[in-house]
Amino acid sequence: MDRNALLNQMLYRMEEVFWHELSDCAPWKTEYVGIDFIQAQDIKGKNEDEVIRACIERIKAAGLAENIDYAIGGNGILLKLQVRGCQLMLKETMLRKGGIKPYNCPIANMIRDQLIEKLGYETTYLADMAADEKTGHCALKVAIYATPEKIGAVSDWSKE
């Protein structure tokens, strides 16, 4: 049995029905998906670079993705993630075939969780998720707010 396919099929059905119930609110409700894994990894770091790198190392070691690159821009509130070889790409493919834009990334959820739990970040938000099943590449834009004052620090992310 292909356990990864089974996992993807089950997640797909859960996300499909969740989208059907909540439409664009669904991404807001699924931010805990994946956090149990990363919370068991004893991630350490004194700043966001250290925490993000530690998360990526554990995520790759667990085989959830082959490679993850990141960059921070947009007045310090834009975390860009480039994920390759994600083990959850199949569920995104199935969602898109069903007419639903992929909206929930457990890998991004893990990193968001640790920024909040380990560094006390005020809040985070998965703003955009572009999963390309043909290339196996997923580009994510995550808003990360270290303090409440960071909210409103706007810029043009298309230039990032």
Partner 1 sequence: MEDILDIMTSRKSIRRYNTDPVPDEMLDKILEAARWAPTGENYQPWRFVVVRNQETRNKIGDLAKVGSGSRMTAWYCLGHMQERFAGIKDPVKRAEVLRFMYSGEVSEFAKKAPVVIAVIGSLMEGSVDVPYDLSAAIENMLLMAHAMGLGGCWVHGPVATTRDAKKFKEILGIPTGMGEYKVIAYVSIGWAAEQRKYPRPKKNLEDLVYWEKFGQKERPRHG
For the stretch 40-78, what's the b/e string if a residue is b when 16 or more beta carbons lie within 10 angstroms of its beta carbon? Answer: ebebebeebeebbebbbebbeeeebbeebebebebeebb
Residue 91 is a binding residue for partner 1 (CB under 8 A): no
Strand partners of residue 83: 68, 138
Q: At what angle do helices 106-119 and 48-61 cross, to 10 degrees?
A: 140
Report the residue from 9, 37, 123, 137 that binds partner 1 according to the rule CB under 8 A: 123
Residue 157 is a binding residue for partner 1 (CB under 8 A): yes
Residue 114 is a binding residue for partner 1 (CB under 8 A): no
The C-alpha atoms of residue 124 and residue 132 are separated, in whole angstroms, by: 23
Residue 153 is a binding residue for partner 1 (CB under 8 A): yes
Residue 118 is a binding residue for partner 1 (CB under 8 A): no
Residue 31 is a binding residue for partner 1 (CB under 8 A): yes
Q: How far is the CB of 144 from partner 1 (least distance, A)?
A: 10
Q: How far is the CB of 63 from partner 1 (least distance, A)?
A: 26
Q: Nearest 5 degrees, angle CA 142-CA 29-CA 53?
A: 35
Residue 6 is a binding residue for partner 1 (CB under 8 A): no
Chain residues in the site for partner 1 (CB under 8 A): 25, 28-32, 74, 77-78, 116, 122-125, 127-128, 141, 143, 145, 148, 151-158
